[in-house]
Structure 1
Amino acid sequence: MAAVLEELPEDPQKDPPNVAESQSGLKPIQRLTSDDRLARITPSTLARTEFMYYSRYVRDFVRSDYNFAAAKMAVARNGKLRAIENEFRVADAWLSKTVAAISRRHQRVMPVKAEKIELEIKHALSGTLVRLLVQYDRLFIGTMRCQMALTVSARERQSILDAAEARINQIPFLCIPDADQFASDGTHVPGSGIES
């Protein structure tokens, strides 16, 4: 007669083992999320704003990149700060000029529904980033209304929005490297270890 081994059912009260801990014996690394980083920063300005947005791009940017960029900009110094400020000037000039050009074209007026979210502004540059996102939404709505009036083609509209997104996406990209990787004029010098 063969013996049959029966597995005992697992105790539902017992916590399941942590997979990362059980395989290596090490505790998992606890990383700060961008929300946690932003919460720990001592603000130079402290404001909350109810931000109205219209486009998917702005919604996704606020969800994934805004707090990261806001936290990094609040602690940026020397060359890194100069690089970010320069990029803001370039992006703001381009968006302002493009929004003005689109507003001069014939548009079909149509209602556009907005969503809202509350944002924390702990540094002046965070407010500037919000301003760029507002300009993007103006461009988004303006090009949509122009497309409905047949004064902008679908391809032209997509090209304009892609260029605007690329300009704004430069901001969080510049926030990634450490401050010591920027020369005093704001030039990025990867792996240099320069103290600017």
Structure 2
Amino acid sequence: MSGFDTEKPEAVDPERLISPSTATEPVSGVLRPIKRLTSDDRLARIHPETLAKTELLYYSDFARTFVRSDYNFCAAKMTVARGGKLLALEAEFHTAETFFRKALAWANRLHGRRTGLEPERVTLEIKHPLSGRLVRLLTIYDRLFLKTMEALAGRSVMAHERKAALDAAAARLKQIPQLCIPDNDRYAPEGVLLPDSDDTH
């Protein structure tokens, strides 16, 4: 059994989750480098609080797909988040960071054998502190991916334990795009998502 809670978040939308079967696939020899990120035009229009670039090294299909499909969208939406939405995002990041800290501590205790995988890399723009925190979470996800792959090779973790850990980690990360989707005015000041006006009729 893993030494941390692998239960998925209650509010996670299964339709938004990347398939667990692809979440555990390695990059090396399988995936092409990312050439263009979705929503790059949206992010380019944002006037940043901060402006930096970072290079993300990734091994997993989950990280590649998240970066390509969700990162720029999240980065743009987080830059303009205000009030209750910003509070909700801060709370989710705190929860996710706590989860990943425990997950990585568990993975670091596992005995593993090096796999020889080489990472792909992509350059990401950081226009808000939350974007930097998202990149760190993706980095930790991939460390968890690699550590558990090595542990699987070293027979110190079972395949179902690894799958449960990676599925829970993926679900935790996918909460962030879900929170980014509603506009600022859909959140109460205390960070609670208000019901859609269509749902009240």
Q: Give the TM-score of the pair, scaled to structure 2.
A: 0.77
Aligned with 1:130: secondary structure?
helix
Instruction: Extract structure 1 runs of 4+ deviating beyond 6 A.
Output: none
Aligned with 2:170: secondary structure?
helix
Corresponding position of 2:125? 120
Aligned with 1:93: secondary structure?
helix
Letter in 1 for 2:122: I
Q: Structure 2: which 5+ runs fail to align?
A: 1-37
| Residue deviations 1:21-75 (CA, integer Å, cap 9, x gap) | xxxxxxxxxxxx6211100000111001121111110000000000000000000
Alignment partners' CA distance in 2, 1:87 and 1:170: 8
Count of aligned positions:
161
Corresponding position of 1:46? 51
1:88-99 paired onto structure 2 within 5 Å:
88-99=93-104
Alignment partners' CA distance in 2, 1:59 and 1:45: 24
Alignment partners' CA distance in 1, 2:102 and 2:148: 14
1:51-62 paired onto structure 2 within 5 Å:
51-62=56-67
Letter in 2 for 1:55: S
Aligned with 1:43: secondary structure?
coil
Corresponding position of 2:115? 110
Letter in 1 for 2:78: M
Corresponding position of 2:29? none
Match of 1:163 among 162, 165, 168: 168
Alignment partners' CA distance in 1, 2:71 and 2:89: 14
1:1-196 paired onto structure 2 within 5 Å:
34-191=39-196
Alignment partners' CA distance in 1, 2:69 and 2:125: 15
Alignment partners' CA distance in 2, 1:129 and 1:108: 28
Q: Structure 1: which 5+ runs fail to align?
A: 1-32
The alpha carbon displacement at 1:190 in A equals: 2.1
What's the RMSD between the two structures over aligned residues?
A: 1.3
Between the aligned residues of both structures, percent identity stands at 57
Alignment partners' CA distance in 1, 2:161 and 2:106: 13
Aligned with 1:51: secondary structure?
strand
The alpha carbon displacement at 1:131 in A equals: 0.3
Aligned with 2:122: secondary structure?
strand
